[in-house]
């Protein structure tokens, strides 16, 4: 169930679009990630985030307000900043600048935040209205009427699952130009994304996908569905990442003119996250070689005669690591419970 359905009055989930910039730099548009780790590490005291929210007033107000309030809508637009790790939650109200734009700024004190946070645009009521309530719409002061996708803000280099060689982002593919042609897919892996890591983008436009993948329970039908869907995505994306690295190593061998390349030199030519992939698979596939496992992986990947066998080993080990058989057992349990 989408959380919008919990509201007892009409709301608009995708009405606002937030963008943010710092010191007249490049703008980050939601859904996206604003990386402040550099300024934090340099010792800067803080930053001022310049915020802009755009919306289609006619399309939104007719849904969330009664017609009698259309001439002077009792609403305001703000941006909520929250960081669970920092125990910070605040909101700044933006000023209307015309043409459907609202602008404002939010100062961030780096001494008060760490880990990460989010910026979310919201439209809310600024007065009470019994008439609005009678019409079936929100009438209480502060009622959340509309919002939009958030921008994630990073303050520290912190460990996350797979964070040494992958970054996760949610996006509504149908609303992102570069992803629109993939709007029917669950995910899209971008190994050449800007920044230091490839990006695995999950499609928020697929009904129910985010709810299933974010399911926290340990014993429920949704948990079992989460495991199955997560297993499918992890196998496919993990295999694609690994094959990318193998292809890089094989291409390096070809560029050497057929001569046997030095594994250490090949590893040195990889990006940090690509070396992390080798460091992950080497000991798992070639444990018998001990500390030389990574070099053996590199030798096999750069050898046209052995690379296919290496890919087969990766495929087998990927299934073991992702517990594919356990996920299938979970589906059978759902089948038995439903009696189908």
Q: Residues 32-50: what's their mean pLDDT? A: 84
The total number of residues shown for the chain amounts to 340
Domain boundaries, the chain: 3-158, 164-340
Burial (0-12, 13-18, 19+ Cβ within 10 Å), 323: middle
- Other Cβ atoms closer than 10 A to 7: 13
For the cut 80, the answer to whether the pLDDT of residue 214 exceeds it is: no
Per-residue pLDDT reduced to its tens digit, 259-301: 667 888 888 888 888 888 898 888 889 989 888 999 999 999 9
The confidence score (pLDDT) of residue 335 equals 60
- For 215-264, the pLDDT digits (tens) are 665 556 666 777 778 878 888 888 899 999 999 888 876 655 556 678 88
User: Which of 144, 218, 196 shows the shortest CA–CA distance to 35?
Assistant: 196
- At residue 91, what are phi and psi to the nearest 5 degrees? -140, 140
CA nearest neighbour of 123 among 200, 67, 59, 181: 59
The string of pLDDT tens digits covering residues 128-144 is: 988 889 888 888 999 99
> Token pair of 238, please?
């993990």
pLDDT value of residue 265: 85
Contact (Cβ atoms closer than 8 angstroms) between residue 29 and residue 19: yes
Question: Phi and psi (nearest 5°) for 334?
Answer: -65, -45
Question: How many Cβ atoms sit within 10 Å of the Cβ of residue 110?
Answer: 17
pLDDT in tens, 67-89: 888 888 999 999 999 988 788 89
Yes or no: is domain 3-158 CATH 2.60.40? yes
pLDDT at 3: 47
Quote the tokens at residue 264: 């250490």
pLDDT attached to residue 221: 66
Residue 295 is given by DSSP the state: H
* Predicted confidence band of residue 53 (pLDDT cuts 50, 70, 90): very high
């Amino acid at each position: 169930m989408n959380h919008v359905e919990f509201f007892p009055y009409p709301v608009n989930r995708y009405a606002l679009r937030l963008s943010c910039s710092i010191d007249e730099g490049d703008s980050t548009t939601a859904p996206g990630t604003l990386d402040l780790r550099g300024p934090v590490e340099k010792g800067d005291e803080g930053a001022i985030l310049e915020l802009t929210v755009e919306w289609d007033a006619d399309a939104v107000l007719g849904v969330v307000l009664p017609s009698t309030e259309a001439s002077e809508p009792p609403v305001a637009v703000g941006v909520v900043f929250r960081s669970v790790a920092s125990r910070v939650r605040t909101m700044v109200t933006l000023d209307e600048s015309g043409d459907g734009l609202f602008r404002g700024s939010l100062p961030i004190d780096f001494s008060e935040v760490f880990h990460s946070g989010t910026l979310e645009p919201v439209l809310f009521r600024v007065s009470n209205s019994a008439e609005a309530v009678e019409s079936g719409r929100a009438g209480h002061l502060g009622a959340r009427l509309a919002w939009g996708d958030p921008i994630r803000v990073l303050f520290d280099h912190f460990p996350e699952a797979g964070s040494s060689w992958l970054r996760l982002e949610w996006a509504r593919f149908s609303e992102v130009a570069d992803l629109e042609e993939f709007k029917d897919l669950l995910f899209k892996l971008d190994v050449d994304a800007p920044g230091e890591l490839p990006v695995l983008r999950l499609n928020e436009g697929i009904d129910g996908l985010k709810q299933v993948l974010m399911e926290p329970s340990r014993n429920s039908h949704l948990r079992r569905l989460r495991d199955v869907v997560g297993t499918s995505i992890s196998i496919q994306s993990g295999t694609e990442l690994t094959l990318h690295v193998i292809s890089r190593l094989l291409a390096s061998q070809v560029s050497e003119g057929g001569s046997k390349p030095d594994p250490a030199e090949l590893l040195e030519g990889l990006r940090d996250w690509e070396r992390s992939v080798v460091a992950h698979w080497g000991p798992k596939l070639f444990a018998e070689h001990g500390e030389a496992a990574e070099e053996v992986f590199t030798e096999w990947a750069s050898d046209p005669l052995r690379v296919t066998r290496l890919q087969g080993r990766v495929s087998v080990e990927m299934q073991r690591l992702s517990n594919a058989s356990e996920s299938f057992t979970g589906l059978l349990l759902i089948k038995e419970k439903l009696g189908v």
